[in-house]
């Protein structure tokens, strides 16, 4: 019989896992390892040949190589991950974010092999992973959505008919999309059919699913998301909102909480809607409900059925270890807090330092890091797996480090972030980063005054 560990502070409750396998890489793998080790849980990290000297590999109790650098032969390939879990005695798999984290098939494979998937039930992931289906479910649950098609658009005739009803501008989205991929904004009727075809092509290539749907595109909106936790006993809590309106190519660069210049009434409504939506699909684990806000208008966008890249913002404000809660929920425990227990203190902001060239369309610029000295000081947290001498692999996401600043209020949090980014020493062979671009955004009067929207960096849209 596989042994399990009972945390000393929680004797008498159901035990958590003895060993957890982390099926991911980079800073999120290291982040999961740290929380598990603090809980007394043994950790196993899988890695590709490109990550053999990663910080997560060095920190884990055991590491197993699963394949070459190409994701489809390593981090996206289930068989060696499952074999590693079985061989090392793992009882659960934490998928992090990206890769297989929102793949219901992988969750089912884990279950068939006696492994607990630390995430939502496959049925919930399957419903929410299809953006078109998620729109229909949330509409039926009473969440507001933008005018658009409920079912995927299959041909040009249906596209034109729907577009005429919705009007311009509109956005074409891949039903299986995510990570900012598979989206195209249409502002001119002449672009409608070409962008429809190109988006379907991207969706087919990236997601293996060419289905797309369309909806009204709101200009100059705020992108606000709500962090939720839900256990297997019907308890759901909202841990607050995050503003992630500063984006390039629909991918986030800066996230903060609380959302400045958003009324308390709107924030309360967003939290209520997120909890309502989670209950509708029987959600369990950590998740994020995403909305667009324009004035008093709210529109549901999608659900991310996993831990978010920007989860440290919420952790800094609430003191809740979201990864720890994920593990406990997966082990069958009840949530350690109720809605009335949630307290938010101060202001927090996160900047994603990516290996990209801001002067050249944010194209990736990986390479070997010759200098890497993260900032510190009061209220600063840095989530990273990078170090001097480490080579940033070209095969993966360009994220190098997340810098999070906390302060009693937004003004001081921004000043602290500016100081931290200025202090951050990072350079390398052919490496360019977004550090200075982030400082410029932080200093911009529009951002300082919280008048920024999703069009802040891309006023003309994609």
The residue length of the chain stands at 462
CA distances from 101 to 121, 237, 287 (A): 12, 21, 11
Which residues lie across from 330 on neighbouring strands?
none
Q: At what angle do helices 78-88 and 104-112 cross, to 10 degrees?
A: 40
The SS3 assignment for 339 reads helix
Q: In what order do the strands lie in the sheet with 170-178?
A: 181-186, 170-178, 212-216
H-state helical runs in 348-456: 410-423, 435-443, 445-448
CB-CB neighbours of 86 under 10 Å: 13
Dump the DSSP string for 79-111. Answer: HHHHHHHHHHT-SEEE--SSTTTT-HHHHHHHH
Do you find a cis peptide bond into 258, omega within 30 degrees of 0?
A: yes
417 and 382 in contact (C-beta within 8 Å)?
A: no
Q: At what angle do helices 26-38 and 322-330 cross, to 10 degrees?
A: 70
Question: Is beta strand 92-94 parallel, antiparallel or unpaired with respect to 19-22?
Answer: parallel
Which of 68, 22, 23, 66 has its CA nearest to residue 42? Answer: 22
State the Cα–Cα distance between residues 57 and 26, nearest whole angstrom.
Answer: 9
366 and 356 in contact (C-beta within 8 Å)?
A: no
Question: Residues 123, 328, 89, 23: is their CA dihedral positive or negative?
Answer: positive
State the Cα–Cα distance between residues 28 and 357, nearest whole angstrom.
Answer: 23
40 and 7 in contact (C-beta within 8 Å)?
A: yes
109 and 242 in contact (C-beta within 8 Å)?
A: no
State the Cα–Cα distance between residues 431 and 190, nearest whole angstrom.
Answer: 39
CA distances from 438 to 27, 95, 252, 338, 434 (A): 19, 29, 12, 36, 6
Instruction: Give yes or no: 249 in active site.
Output: no
Catalytic residue among 31, 211, 306, 365: 306
Which residues form the catalytic set?
306
């Amino acid at each position: 019989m596989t042994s399990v560990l009972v945390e000393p502070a929680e004797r008498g409750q159901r035990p958590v896992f003895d060993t957890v396998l982390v099926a991911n890489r980079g800073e999120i793998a290291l982040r999961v390892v740290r929380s598990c080790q603090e809980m007394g849980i043994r950790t196993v990290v899988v890695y590709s040949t490109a990550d053999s000297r990663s910080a997560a590999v060095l920190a884990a109790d055991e590491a197993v190589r699963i394949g070459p650098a190409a994701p489809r032969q390593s981090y996206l390939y289930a068989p060696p991950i499952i074999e590693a879990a079985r061989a090392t005695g793992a009882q659960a798999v934490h998928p992090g974010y990206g890769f297989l984290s929102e793949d219901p098939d992988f969750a089912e494979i884990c279950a068939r092999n006696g492994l607990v998937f630390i995430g939502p039930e496959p049925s919930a992931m399957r419903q929410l992973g299809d953006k078109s289906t998620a729109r229909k479910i949330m509409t039926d649950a009473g969440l507001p959505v933008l005018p658009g098609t409920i079912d995927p658009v299959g041909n040009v005739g249906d596209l034109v008919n729907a577009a005429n009803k919705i009007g311009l501008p509109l956005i074409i989205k891949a039903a299986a999309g995510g990570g900012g991929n598979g989206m195209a904004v249409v502002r001119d009727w002449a672009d409608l059919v070409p962008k429809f075809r190109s988006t379907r092509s991207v969706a087919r290539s990236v997601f293996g699913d060419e289905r797309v749907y369309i909806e009204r595109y709101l200009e100059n909106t705020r992108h606000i998301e709500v962090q939720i936790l839900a256990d297997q006993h019907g308890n759901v809590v909202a841990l607050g909102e995050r503003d992630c309106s500063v984006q390039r190519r629909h991918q986030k660069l800066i996230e903060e909480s609380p959302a400045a210049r958003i009324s308390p009434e709107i924030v309360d409504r967003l939290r209520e809607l997120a909890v309502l939506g989670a209950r509708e699909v029987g959600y369990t684990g950590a998740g994020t409900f995403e909305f667009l806000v324009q004035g008093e208008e709210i529109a549901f966008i999608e659900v991310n059925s996993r831990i978010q890249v920007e989860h440290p913002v919420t952790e800094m404000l609430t003191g809740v270890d979201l990864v720890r809660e994920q593990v406990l929920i997966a082990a069958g425990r009840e949530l350690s807090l109720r809605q009335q227990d949630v307290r938010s203190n101060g202001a927090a902001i996160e900047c994603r330092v990516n290996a990209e060239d801001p002067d050249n369309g944010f194209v990736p610029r990986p390479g070997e890091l010759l200098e890497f000295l993260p900032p510190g000081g009061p209220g600063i947290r840095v989530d990273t797996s990078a170090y001097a001498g480490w080579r940033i692999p070209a095969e993966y996401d360009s994220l190098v480090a997340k810098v999070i600043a906390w302060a009693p209020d937004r003004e001081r949090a921004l000043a602290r972030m500016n100081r931290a980014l200025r202090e951050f020493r990072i350079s390398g062979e052919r490496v360019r980063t977004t550090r200075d671009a982030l400082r410029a955004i932080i200093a911009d009067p529009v951002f300082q005054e919280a008048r920024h929207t999703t069009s802040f960096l891309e006023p003309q849209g994609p």
